[in-house]
Structure 1
Amino acid sequence: MEADNVPCGEPISEMAEAHQAVAFQFTITPEGIDLQLSHEALRQVYLSGLRSWKKRFIRLKNSVITGVYPASPSSWLFVVIAILATMYTRSDPSMGLIAKIQEHLPVSQSLSAQCQTVVSAVLFSTLLWLSLIFTMRLCLKQLLSYHRWMFEQHGKMSNTTKVWVALVRIFSGRQPLLYSYQGSLPNLPVPAVKDTIKRYLESVRPLMTESEFERMSKLAIEFEGSLGNRLQWYLKLKALWSANYVSDWWEEYIYLRGRSPIMVNSNYYGMDFLYVTPTPIQAARAGNTIHAFLLYRRKLNREELKPSRVPGTVIPLCAAQCERMFNTTRIPGEETDTVQHWQDSDYVAVYHRGRYFRLWVYKSGRMLTPREIELQIQKILEDPSPPLSGEDKLGALTAGDRVPWAKVRKQFFSTGVNKRSLDCIERAAFFVTLDDDEQGMMGDDPAASLDRYAKSLLHGKCYDRWFDKSFSAVVYKNGKNGLNAEHSWADAPVVAHLWEFVLATDSFQLGYDEEGHCKGNVDPKLPQPQRLSWDIPPECEEVVSQSLAVAQALADDVDFHVFSFRDFGKGKIKKCRISPDAFIQLALQLAYYRDRGLFCLTYEASMTRLFREGRTETVRSCTNESCAFVKALESGEEEDLCVRLLRLATDKHQNLYRMAMTGAGIDRHLFCLYVVSKYLGLESPFLKEVLSEPWRLSTSQTPVQQVELFDLVNHPEYISCGGGFGPVADDGYGVSYIIVGENMINFHISCKYSCAQTDSHRYGAQIRQALLDLLRLGEPGRTGNTQAKKDL
């Protein structure tokens, strides 16, 4: 009879184990209540609580250390001893303040005169110490507001900047924690309206005819002279009140209020090593990967990660985006989504062949070893139970439009077993997909296999990822892995930092035995992975099918091409005395012109993490200078002229990138002005037109941030292929690239099959040729380059 009550598809053994895990059971008998305690369950409750309290203590300790940075808590004792020692020499370092404090002590009558003096001295020392901390943080904040160093010529540092670097080192203290600099980072400045409009008009000049530009100029001047100043006043008020005048509106209106699918349109992916698969065993790769993620989370919780800095400098970057990396889910809403973060989670959610599992990753207060996780994953892989009715394609709800998902979540997942299972997925540390496909560079056509690999990570089967999770790790049947990340909570460099750590830890620290299995001891009493139960009614299944149809149509339309450019890398580009990023961006402009026969508005993502809670700014890579160079080269102008225009174009791009990083960008300011106008119920023809312009070429560089984790000299095969994203415009391209080592650049190109004018492979071929043509022009020894060196 009891077996009849077991939910379909859930093994009876798991139900028995679930009963054993209950801390106590009781039954009512004629003799009274029969109470049975489970000592093992109570022990697990105790150990779990102990782990939780340890984490709270670590957070409290770190908050104290971060709160007094750049001083240290021990410096308080030094100040107290110094003041007391000075007083015992019969001098008053407080100039009478200690005596004043002593007069107003509320407990002065119950203390001796000597105790009163000591207590007053300690209070004065504490106030002096806090004043010194405030002064040091203010000085550090002012120092970090200095950005002229970024505009100086490489290798020629001014005396002012040298003094500034020394002062930053002095005021930065020693051994900072991850969030130590947060209180000292400057706020993002609000540019002047006239400066933003001037830069905007300059950016669109090469894309408009004379009449179009004249009309836009009139709109801009009218906006500047009337509505612009009024909107600017509200922005300045917000900048004074909030940590960052852009970031919260950017997250809300660009990401969370979007009602279209986040799969392809918003989420992005990261790839495994290009040439190496550390083990062909799926469960083993999953074991090391999950364990490496948990090690990173532990470092994150303890703030043991080093603060990110501008490469090659002592300048810190904002770490606020790291806070929601784990235990985070995007929750759908009918009008706007929300990002929900939980303080802790001791399990991960796993998907395999249409079934969902809860996999505990801690036992008795300790993290499971990679080998233990591997064995647990193997149990999931070997579980023969079929999916429950409506379970297998449930993840499609997160891949389709947001409004149907929000409505069906409220209707069918707010109570009962569905709510418990959905809560389990959403509260998990992260999501794991055990994919039955084999991916990576393989087979007779490695180029095509990379394209399939990219599409699989970007959208999979449209139902085998949980696209709402902060990130989903994907482990394939042949041991290859990757991840898919939701975009609203953080930008790609933050996730890339995590992914670099995971790949390096997996291969170089955890490793595998000779048979390809994970290392580590195994506890034979580990609880079984818990199968999640669902009760999906036909009405809900219908919505799932509709969401899947929307998502599948979107996924089928994505044309993706991934390739490695090995002819040269940043080594040769630097010998040309050109910024590698500016070089590649100019190559993208040349390739697009050759591909489409025209120029387009181009988006390049630049970070603004020099400022508190900074995220991104747009670098408008299509400039007057880049267009002049491309036209000169394509029309067969003299080589000397082309070389000079090449220099002007790359210098212009580098300057725009620096301006974007230092808060002098165009697009975030205009975006916020537009949001204010909507709040005030005011219409601006200028802002409306600016915000509706399509980005037909959207580009981004994936930075390699932790070079010390990879030995690319002795182990060049351990190279990540980077990651990519879907096209932003229906008739445009999305291009992501990663500069790996000195001799390789990996490109990820996306567009849509439904647009007859775009083709990812054709554009990829144009990029290859454009890079070669630019190197030929930029090589040392060319006439124009020789003259440029003389000018320098």
Structure 2
Amino acid sequence: MAALAGTGTGTEGLFFWGTGTTGLAYYYWLNEMYMDIRIPLPINSNPGMVFPPRRFKTVHDVAHFAARLLDGIMSHKEMLDSGELPLERAASREKNQPLCMAQYYRLLGSCRRPGVDQDSQYLPSRERLNDEDRHVVVICRNQMYCVVLQASDRGKLSASEIASQILYVLSDAPCLPGKPAPVGLLTAEPRSRWARDREMLQLDERNQRNLELIETAQVVLCLDEPLAGNFNARGFTGATPTVHRAGDRDETNMAHEMIHGGGSEYNSGNRWFDKTMQLIICTDGTWGLCYEHSCSEGIAVVQLLEKIYKNIEEHPDEDNGLPQHHLPPPERLEWHVGQPLQLRFTQASQSVDKCIDDLDFYVYRYQSYGKSFIKSCQVSPDVYIQLALQLAYYKLYGHLVATYESASTRRFLHGRVDCIRAASTEALEWAKAMCQGEGANVPLESDREDEEESRKVKFSIYSKDHLRELFRCAVARQTEVMVKNILGNGIDIPLLGLREASVEVTGEMHELFKDEAYNISQCFLLSTSQVACSTDSFMGYGPVTPRGYGCSYNPQPEQIVFCVSAFYSCEDTSASRYAKSLQDSLDIMRDLLQN
């Protein structure tokens, strides 16, 4: 990966060192992480993000809020086209190094395309055509509409004009006769199956045009109905209730809406999971995002939406006024589907519903302390939380597993992420010492939980000073691995490059990459990432392996928000049990360090 440095406020003026192999290394990584993966995008790949709920009194409020979001998207697009996007620089660890901004330019107007063997990306041209038409696709009750936001013959629409278009969709979609073809459900299928379905769709010219409109849209806007209460949190509910609610829905329910839509009877057909950005607004005030991960990391998506959201919050009066209705109504996309595709809708509904029923998801707010206390202990909040995740896993299973934490490598051209491996020898020794006498490897069957809890013997043969010393050693090791990764000295990306290069040169994989130890190291039973938000929002996703956990976290000054996921089909995992173990781990870490 080539180093990057330069000055200025935009991408111009940057200097790059390296050769064409830089791009090749990026595609090694892109194919390994995304394009070659054949499993469905929702749950397995696309994260969902929940923002603080709104208060909608009328359907006009829904339309106005949607219009403000889309107006903000267009303003951001104008900034990108003018080259005014500020260059970001590293804030720590060799400060002020310029960061690659490429992924920021891939958010709008892009889309993933399925392939039978390998997916591809549609990326918009970087040419700045100020007079080009720009549009979004709005989906409501499985009906799709093309809403033009900027046209060559009339310029950019105002927020009020956009609101009138959204109002038309909200009033038109529920009144159409018959049941619409849930074409969006097909995008939730395994990639090879969806690729073959897409080929069938393209046999019709109208369908071809619809696909082009969706793939070239700036974003997709999904206008949803609320999910039922059966998507609320199950089991352990934490020491305190969740903060944000919309009606009878809790934060776990809202996260389900963003990640997968709730199934074929709810909103999973009201999606296009290939689209890089799907803005989701529910009539009860729940709103957020589902995004396709291959184009960008979470930081670019979070920064864009938080900027737009904060502008809306700071200028609420702009929501006032009646929408302007002088524009022609948006075009509804009509699909021509034959009997084979009709059958596929039934099969896709069953497949999607089965995957959603298997998702064990839990949003947990730990509110005893946050990053303010952690910093007072002179520890990086990210390092601290990673060690808490290790301790929580050890308390349940009595051992550690390969753990993935994403580390930004944007100091390098095309840099995305490498893997911070938190399951170190030092973390293991500390976790063992912290769990002395607790009887680790506790069975997870709910009917044995109380019995096992009562049988635990809670004492420690180590002094607090010794436990603190072991903790400091674990902190030092985790910090060292983190710094190596962000400075380009990680191990996973170089090994990936060597593996792929060996295949290209020799025609076969080197024996190193056939070794059992290498295969074990690549099976991440704990997949984690920090998704720091300046608003009270959170992002979650599913595990990357059937026997594993997914866990994202947002450290705030006085609390930490966790999104924990597992699969019900695995008898050895439980999202609520892991959340409870996290609470216990964070509590005893505070007791160890607070004085």
TM alignment of 1:279-678, pairs within 5 A: 279-280=56-57, 281-311=61-91, 313-343=95-125, 345-362=133-150, 364-383=153-172, 391-437=180-226, 441-442=244-245, 449-460=250-261, 461=263, 462-509=268-315, 511-512=316-317, 518-519=319-320, 523-635=324-436, 636=460, 637-678=462-503
Amino acid corresponding to residue 184 of structure 1 in structure 2: F
RMSD: 2.3
Matches of 1:421 and 1:245 in 2, distance apart? Answer: 33
Q: Match of 1:695?
A: 524
Residue 590 to residue 359, structure 1, CA distance change in 2 (3 Å): same
Amino acid corresponding to residue 390 of structure 2 in structure 1: Q
Question: For 1:315-354, what per-residue CA distance to the aligned partner results, in whole angstroms no more than 9, with x for missing partners?
Answer: 2210011222111111111111110123465111011112
Matches of 1:423 and 1:444 in 2, distance apart? Answer: 38
Could you tell me how far 1:523 is from its partner in structure 2? 4.7
Matches of 2:17 and 2:554 in 1, distance apart? Answer: 29
Contact 1:596 1:757 in 2 (8 A): no
Contact 2:142 2:184 in 1 (8 A): no
TM alignment of 1:160-179, pairs within 5 A: 172=7, 176-179=8-11
Matches of 2:55 and 2:298 in 1, distance apart? Answer: 24
Amino acid corresponding to residue 663 of structure 1 in structure 2: G
Amino acid corresponding to residue 371 of structure 2 in structure 1: K
**If the length of structure 1 is used for normalisation, what is the TM-score?**
0.64
Q: Match of 2:448?
A: none
Amino acid corresponding to residue 29 of structure 2 in structure 1: W
Contact 2:468 2:593 in 1 (8 A): yes
Could you tell me how far 1:538 is from its partner in structure 2? 1.0
Matches of 1:554 and 1:617 in 2, distance apart? Answer: 28
The 3-state SS of whatever aligns with 2:22 is coil
Q: Match of 2:581?
A: 766
Q: Which has the higher contact order (CA 8 A, sep 6+)?
A: 2
Computing the radius of gyration from Cα coordinates, the structure with the larger value is 1
Gaps of 5+ in 2: 126-131, 229-242, 437-459
Contact 2:143 2:173 in 1 (8 A): no
Aligned counterpart for 1:184 among listed residues 10, 15, 22: 15
Q: Match of 1:196?
A: none
Q: Match of 1:256?
A: 35
Residue 372 to residue 623, structure 1, CA distance change in 2 (3 Å): same
Question: For 1:291-316, what per-residue CA distance to the aligned partner results, in whole angstroms no more than 9, with x for missing partners?
Answer: 12222222122222222222364222
Contact 2:227 2:257 in 1 (8 A): no
Contact 1:559 1:759 in 2 (8 A): yes
Could you tell me how far 1:551 is from its partner in structure 2? 2.1
Contact 1:318 1:611 in 2 (8 A): yes
Whether 1:265 and 2:56 are equivalent positions in the alignment is no
Question: For 1:203-260, what per-residue CA distance to the aligned partner results, in whole angstroms no more than 9, with x for missing partners?
Answer: xxxxxxxxxxxxxxxxxxxxxxxxxxxxxxxxxxxxx433355311111232112121
Question: For 1:489-538, what per-residue CA distance to the aligned partner results, in whole angstroms no more than 9, with x for missing partners?
Answer: 111112112122122122224x246xxxx247855421211111111111
Contact 2:227 2:253 in 1 (8 A): no
Contact 1:370 1:519 in 2 (8 A): no
Matches of 2:323 and 2:408 in 1, distance apart? Answer: 44
Residue 733 to residue 562, structure 1, CA distance change in 2 (3 Å): same
Matches of 2:215 and 2:203 in 1, distance apart? Answer: 13
Amino acid corresponding to residue 479 of structure 1 in structure 2: G
Amino acid corresponding to residue 489 of structure 2 in structure 1: A
Whether 1:735 and 2:561 are equivalent positions in the alignment is no
User: Aligned residue pairs: how many?
Assistant: 535
Amino acid corresponding to residue 40 of structure 2 in structure 1: P
Amino acid corresponding to residue 552 of structure 1 in structure 2: D
Question: For 1:13-48, what per-residue CA distance to the aligned partner results, in whole angstroms no more than 9, with x for missing partners?
Answer: xxxxxxxxxxxxxxxxxxxxxxxxxxxxxxxxxxxx
**If the length of structure 2 is used for normalisation, what is the TM-score?**
0.85
The 3-state SS of whatever aligns with 1:291 is helix
Gaps of 5+ in 1: 1-140, 146-170, 188-239, 708-718, 782-792
The 3-state SS of whatever aligns with 2:369 is coil
Matches of 1:678 and 1:666 in 2, distance apart? Answer: 19
Matches of 1:491 and 1:633 in 2, distance apart? Answer: 35
